[in-house]
Structure 1
Amino acid sequence: MNSRLFEKIHISWLVAAWCLGLTVGVITIHYLPRLVMFEAWALVVGLGLMAVVMAWRLRVLMIVAIISGGLAGMWRGELGRAGLEVYDSLIGKTAAIQGRVLEDPDIDKKGQTVLRLSNLRINGEKLAGQLWVVTADKRPIKRSDIVQAQGKLTTGFGAFSASMYRAKIIRVERPVPGDVAVGARDWFAERVRKHITESESALGLGFLLGLRRAMPTELSDNLKIAGLTHIVVASGYNLTILVRLARRLFAKRSKYLAMLSAATMIIGFMAVTGLSPSMSRAGLVAGLSLAVWYYGRTIHPLVLLPVSAAITLMVNPQFGWGDLGWQLSFASFTGVIILAPLLHKYFFGDKEPGAFRQILVETLSAQIVTLPLLMMSFGVVSNVALIANMLILPFVPLAMLLTFASGVLAMVPMIGAAIALPTTWLLGYMIQAANWLAGLEWAQMEVNITWWQCGLMYAVMIGAMLWMKKQTKLNLGKVNIVE
């Protein structure tokens, strides 16, 4: 009998196993027929099993922890899909649905406005789920506005229970005081635009505030082709820059002050950008990593990933039901905190990575891990993404700082215009680099793969990471994104 199986292990690994089970359970429930129901009994049984696991804390009981989490996830997923059956009778019919705008509206390639609605109501009664709405209506709609849209309902996708294309906007209401964070963001954006031209200010505000709607369509398309979208939307990269900045500014003076300022930046950034799936993940991971850093602890990536995934799915189980943003967010994060350290250790040993090499390896790792999902979902791969990221990413923190200074000092005579000048130059260089790379004939390549090919690619990646881990004997538990 293997004695290791009956060794006691740290509680964090049991929690991670439970969270892994919960994540799998929430995702699985979406694919089960509604006749199969997991109600309160699943939660009770799951918690009972976990109580036994926590009492004994044996390695062999990790499988029981996964089963326990799976039952809890089935219960949460059942709550999440409750009421969604009503869409079966609504799909294909014209309906007028009212909802709150969940995220900043987008503009698609046809110039139409894309809305994501939550807190839905139809004929005055609550409706479960979220609605994807595309409309040609040009009214200025903002996040948190109450919108009533009318149109033919079609099948939804990802976290959206239904879609409505060519919708007619019947009514738009703006609550008072409304979304205060959006008001403050828009006020600041106007100050930035006072001295900085349109394209450059749009890019800077994308870096700093995740304000993507103000970006010209051509620039937005070129950034996508160049593989740079992740730096101009609300993402973990932008948030990590802010958290690391706060830590480096205040850590030597006061660890508490560094933690407090970083936490304030996390909350403020999330309030300004909204709680998209990727932003929810980024904020949660940054907060957890900051907490363990403050208390002088470390958290293993294989614990951090399932815990953060489980928490986001507990808040909104529909994130796990095919939401590509949620999937890409966790895939890229896995590349940064697991694959990148392994590549550093395997190819460069114990040498401290410089800024250039760190950006190169982390960018490459994130692209490798997200590549199968991108190929399966879009059938297009950027051939210039690595070059584009190396040309632009090193300057993003400086661009964010200068954009912030331009907004703060915009109304100060002489100084505002003086700060805007280097800001415009730097942002202009980034735009020119993105446009040039996107204009190359070989900038993109079409590659279509099936779901099983995607799974096979991830299996190969996992095998490669396990092999590098064995060869390097790297302690991944020392990885912390706030350092």
Structure 2
Amino acid sequence: MNRWLFEKLHISWLVAAWCLGLTIGVISIHYIPRSFAMNPLFLLVGLAIFVIVAIWRWRFFVILAIISGVLVGLWRGEIGRKGVEIYDSLIGKVAIVQGQVLEDPDLDKNGQTVLRLGNLRMNNEKLPGQIWVTTPDKNSIKRSDIVRVKGKMTAGFGAFSASVYRAKIISAERPVPGDVAVGVRDWFAGRVREHIPESESALGLGFLLGLRRAMPTELSDNLKIAGLTHIVVASGYNLTILVRLARRLFAKRSKYLAMLSAAVMIIGFMAVTGLSPSMSRAGLVAGLSLAAWYYGRTIHPLVLLPVSAAITLLINPQFGWGDLGWQLSFASFAGVIMLAPLLHSYFFGNKEPGAFRQILIETLSAQIMTLPLLMMSFGVISNVALIANMLILPFVPLAMLLTFMSGVLVFVPMIGALIAIPTTWLLGYMIQVTNWTAGFEWAQMEVSINLWQCAVLYVALILAMIWMKKQTKLDLAKINIVE
């Protein structure tokens, strides 16, 4: 037993343990009273402990690595929440706040524009954190615009320090040159709409660029009911399609060219869609997986998950403070990269999965892993999600390609018009499937659970995966999302 404890571990497992601890520390600070400030000594002690862990690398040092990460995470979380106490004095008061629009504006269920503002200022003084704003004003606000809003401050939620509902837009300015990626995206979207009808073009642009605001309200609602929202928002699924396409197109010619083209797609897609929590996770995971593939290495999912979580929280600790998009992103990714291979190996052995079976198992796995969070957060689940995904997901890569060609070839009238025909047909089919599956009376079911029940379900899922891992002896380290 003593010999086993003093065996050397690969450094990647100790880094993963440290990142797990950091994630725990950043999230925990949200529940520690603000009066209990974290001393910078936490950072120094945490780093000193990890240096010792990295030098000796003994197996039982995993516990020390986690403790080291927790200390650093508490320090980073303290920096992230510093100054947010100012909102306590603003709640219930009317205030004028200036901020930068961090993500593309959305429409809520009441038809109001939703803005997520950062880089906040009030009375020429900088405010920490981010705020959630809804407004009935129909301004043509875009990502990166600087806006001044007036309204009554209310308590925040998740990663938002405060909320302002039904705010009045006092002014909106667009910096010069502004967000160039947004300008290019909107220009391209305009070209696509020249030949493809409104609903079909909105769906195609949702696939390709994550554009949601231009989508008809009825179609957007039906996508939610059918469990298809994930394919029309900027997510890891869309990004994975692009990375795999680049790798398969160029890998036989040049591995370097395949890596470079995939990296350009990752950076370009993130620039176009913005750095939402789910997109930050997706881009980071895709980049790490691509680097591992290029150098002929593998990254175990149990290493990749905590490392990517820790990096996103180091950049923005508020992601870990109840941001549902961040949570769902990691849950669905864990389903695809861990649960799906285990399910396939457990039920089908070592047979290579066909396209249909792979889509079925990956979709089911992602839904299983996100189900407890969805039940806790929304109290409803989609009963038709599996059917709708199976009928639509196989055609998403083709729809993305055709939508892209429709925008690029618009300057060649004859060819552009010809490409638009099958594009419209395919997107029209997807809309029909969405409306059909969402139209069933039993399409949704109300199931509400609390935090403890959610935790119990995830513990059960983890135990089930451990059981399947022991039974199948599957090497999860061989799983790479870019292959």
Moved more, 191-200 or 29-38: 29-38
Correspondence list, 1:266-305, <5 A: 266-305=266-305
Please name the residue that 2:45 is paired with: 45
Question: What fraction of aligned residue pairs are identical, expressed as a percent?
Answer: 80
Give the drift of 1:2: 3.5
What per-residue deviation string (whole Å, max 9, x for no partner) do you get for residues 333-375 of structure 1?
0000000000010000000000000000000000000000000
CA distance in 1, matches of 2:417, 2:55: 65
Does residue 189 of structure 1 match 2:192? no
Q: Aligned partner of 1:315: which letter?
A: I
SS in 1 for 2:133: strand
Which letter does structure 2 place at the counterpart of 1:302? L
For 2:207 and 2:72, the matched residues in 1 are separated by 38
Amino acid aligned to 2:265: M
Deviation per CA, 1:152-181: give whole Å up to 9, x if none. Answer: 010101111000001000000000110000
Residue deviations 1:203-250 (CA, integer Å, cap 9, x gap) = 000000001111000000000000000000000000000000000000
Structure 1 counterpart of 2:53, one-letter code: V
The residue identity in structure 2 corresponding to 1:176 is: V
* 1:463 is the counterpart of 2:442: no
Equivalent residue of 1:414, what SS? helix
User: Matches of 2:195 and 2:411 in 1, distance apart?
Assistant: 10
Name the residue aligned to 1:251: 251
Residue equivalent to 1:217: 217
Question: C-alpha separation between the residues in 2 aligned to 1:5 and 1:333?
Answer: 32
Give SS of 1:7's match.
coil
Q: Which residue of 1 aligns with 2:338?
A: 338
State the SS of the aligned residue for 2:215: coil
Aligned residue pairs: how many?
Answer: 483
2:430 — aligned with what? 430
What is the CA deviation profile of residues 271-317 of structure 1, one whole-angstrom value per residue up to 9, with x for unaligned ones?
00000000000000000000000000000000000000000000000
Q: Identify unmatched segments of 5+ residues in structure 1.
A: none
Off by >4 Å, runs of 4+ in structure 1: none
Report how far residue 329 of structure 1 moved: 0.2
1:24 corresponds in structure 2 to 24
One-letter amino acid of the structure 1 residue matched with residue 254 of structure 2: S
For residues 472 and 94 of structure 1, what CA distance do their matches in structure 2 show?
A: 60
User: Within 2, Cα distance between the matches of 1:384 and 1:477?
Assistant: 33
Q: Does 1:265 align with 2:265?
A: yes
Please give the alpha-carbon distance, in whole angstroms, between the structure 2 residues aligned to 1:177 and 1:451: 45
TM-score by length of 2: 1.00
Aligned counterparts of 1:479 and 1:160: Cα–Cα separation in 2: 35
SS of residue in 1 equivalent to 2:97: strand
Q: Provide the C-alpha distance between the structure 1 equivalents of 2:176 and 2:192, rounded to a whole number of angstroms.
A: 25
Instruction: After superposing the two structures, state which structure 1 stretch, 425-434 or 406-415, moved more.
Output: 406-415
Q: What residue number does 2:392 align with?
A: 392
TM-score by length of 1: 1.00
Matching residue of 2:411: 411
Residue 37 (structure 1) shift: 1.6
Deviation of residue 111 (structure 1)?
1.3
SS of the residue aligned with 1:59?
coil
SS state at 1:409 partner: helix
* Residue of structure 1 in register with 2:318 after alignment: 318
- Shift in Å at residue 151 of structure 1? 0.3
**Map of 1:420 onto structure 2:** 420
Once residues 411 and 189 of structure 2 are traced to their aligned partners in structure 1, the CA distance between those partners, rounded to angstroms, is 13
1:39 Cα deviation from its structure 2 partner: 2.6
Q: How does 1:74-153 map to 2 (within 5 A)?
A: 74-153=74-153
Q: CA RMSD in A?
A: 0.5
Task: Tell me the equivalent position of 1:164.
Answer: 164
**Which residue is 2:475 aligned to?**
475
Name the SS of the counterpart of 2:166 in structure 1: strand
Structure 2 distance, partners of 1:139, 1:307, is 40
How many Å separate the matches in 1 of 2:263 and 2:235? 16
1:366-405 CA-partner distances (Å, limit 9, x unpaired): 0000000000000000000000000000000000000000
**Cα distance in structure 2, aligned partners of 1:202 and 1:26:** 38
Unmatched 5+ residue regions in structure 2? none
Report the counterpart of residue 54 of structure 1 in structure 2: 54
| 68-77 or 408-417, larger mean C-alpha shift | 408-417
Kindly state the Cα deviation for residue 268 of structure 1 after the two structures are TM-superposed: 0.1
Letter in 2 for 1:106: D
Report whether the alignment pairs 1:449 with 2:449: yes
Equivalent-residue separation in structure 1 for 2:38 and 2:348 (angstroms): 50
3-state SS of the aligned residue for 1:87? Answer: helix
Question: Deviation digits for residues 434-483 of structure 1, max 9, x if unmatched?
Answer: 00000000000000101110000001000100000000000000010000
